[in-house]
Amino acid sequence: MALMTILDAVNKTLDEQMSLDEKVVSFGEDAGFEGGVFRATKGLQQKYGKGRSFDTPLAESAIIGGAVGMAVNGLKPVAEIQFSGFVFPAFNQIVTHVARYRNRTKGTYNLPMVIRMPYGGGIRALEHHSESIESLFAHIPGLKVVIPSTPYDTKGLLTAAIKDPDPVIFFEPKRIYRAFKQEVPETEYQVPIGKAKVVKEGKDITVVAWGALVRETEKAIKLLEKENISVELIDLRTIQPYDKETITESVKKTGRFLVVHEAYKSYGPGAELISMVNEKAFLHLEAPPTRLTGFDATIPLPKGEHHFIISPNRIASEIKKVVNF
Amino acid sequence: MLIKKFDPLKKKILEVLDYKGNIVDEKLEPKINDETLIKMYKTMLLGRVADTKALQYQRQGRMLTYAPIKGQEAAQVGVIAALEKDDWMVPAFREMAGMLYKGADLKQLFLYWYGNEEGNKFSKDLKILPISVPIASQINHAAGVAYASKLQELNEVTVAYVGDGGTSHGEFHEGVNFAATNALPLIVIIQNNQWAISTPRSVQTIAETLAQKAVAYGIPGIQVDGNDPLAMYIATKEAKERALKGDGPTIIEALTYRLGPHTTSDDPTIYRSDEELKYWEERDPLIRFKKYMIDKGLWSEELEEKQIEENNNYVNKTFKEVEGTGLIDLDEVFKYNYEIMHKDLEDQINDYKEFLESEGK
ipTM: 0.96
Taking 80 as the threshold, does the pLDDT of residue B267 lie above it?
A: yes
Which letter, b or e, does each residue of B262-275 get, where b requires 16 or more Cβ atoms within 10 Å of its Cβ?
A: bbbebebeeebeee
Q: Which of residues 163-222 of A touch B (CB under 8 A)?
A: 164-166, 194
H helix intervals, A129-259: 134-138, 151-163, 213-225, 244-254
Q: Given pLDDT bands bounded at 50, 70 and 90, which one contains residue B4?
A: confident
B118: nearest CA in chain A? A106
Average pLDDT of the segment spanning A27-35: 98
Average pLDDT of the segment spanning A201-207: 98
Query: Is B271 an annotated catalytic residue?
Result: yes
Q: Is A56 within 8 Å of chain B by CB?
A: yes
Percentage of chain A with pLDDT > 90?
99
Q: What percent of chain B has pLDDT over 70?
A: 100
Question: Is residue B262 annotated as part of the catalytic site, yes or no?
Answer: yes
Alpha-carbon span A114 to A92, nearest angstrom: 16
State the pLDDT confidence band at A133, using cuts at 50, 70 and 90: very high
Residue B113 CA: distances (Å) to CA of A158, B77, B245, B326? 39, 20, 38, 13
Residue B176 neighbours by CB under 8 Å, 6+ apart: B139, B143, B188, B213, B214, B217, B219, B249, B251
- DSSP3 helix / strand / coil % (chain B, rounded to 5): 50, 10, 40
The whole-number average pLDDT for the span A199-221 is 98
Give the mean pLDDT of A93-105.
98
pLDDT for the residue B24: 96
CA distance A189 to A26: 20
Radius of gyration, CA atoms only, chain B = 21
Burial of B345 (0-12, 13-18, 19+ CB in 10 A): middle
Mean pLDDT of A210-237: 97
In CATH, what class is A197-323?
alpha beta
CATH of domain A2-184: 3.40.50.970
B338 → closest Cβ in A75, A109, A142: A142
Residue B178 has pLDDT above 80, yes or no: yes
Q: CB under 8 Å to A193, separation ≥6 — which residues?
A: A144, A146, A157, A160, A161, A164, A168, A238
The band of B2, judged by pLDDT with boundaries at 50, 70 and 90, is confident
Per residue in A224-250, pLDDT (tens digit) is 999 999 999 999 999 999 999 999 999
DSSP B129: P
> Tens digit of pLDDT for each residue in A270-322?
999 999 999 999 999 999 999 999 999 999 999 999 999 999 999 999 999 99
Residue B361's pLDDT is 80
Mean pLDDT of chain B: 97
Looking at domain B2-328, its CATH class is: alpha beta
Residue A187 has pLDDT above 80, yes or no: yes
pLDDT of residue B3: 87
Q: What percent of chain B has pLDDT over 90?
A: 98
CA–CA–CA angle A186, A209, A281 (5° rounding): 120
In A, minimum Cα distance to B344 occurs at: A241
Q: Alpha-carbon distance A287 to A10, whole Å?
A: 39
Q: What is the mean pLDDT of residues B338-360?
A: 94
First to last CA, chain A: 45
pLDDT grade for B1, boundaries at 50, 70 and 90: confident
Instruction: Please report, for chain B, the start and end positions of each structural domain, with discontinuous segments joined by +.
Output: 2-328, 329-361
Helix (H, G, I), strand (E, B) or coil at B90: strand
Angstrom distance (rounded) from CA B46 to CA B41: 9
CA distance B147 to B180: 11
Contacts of B209 (CB under 8 A, 6+ apart): B8, B9, B11, B221, B223, B253
Q: Which residues of A touch B175 (CB under 8 A)?
A: 61-62, 65-66
CB B126 within 8 A of CB B80: no
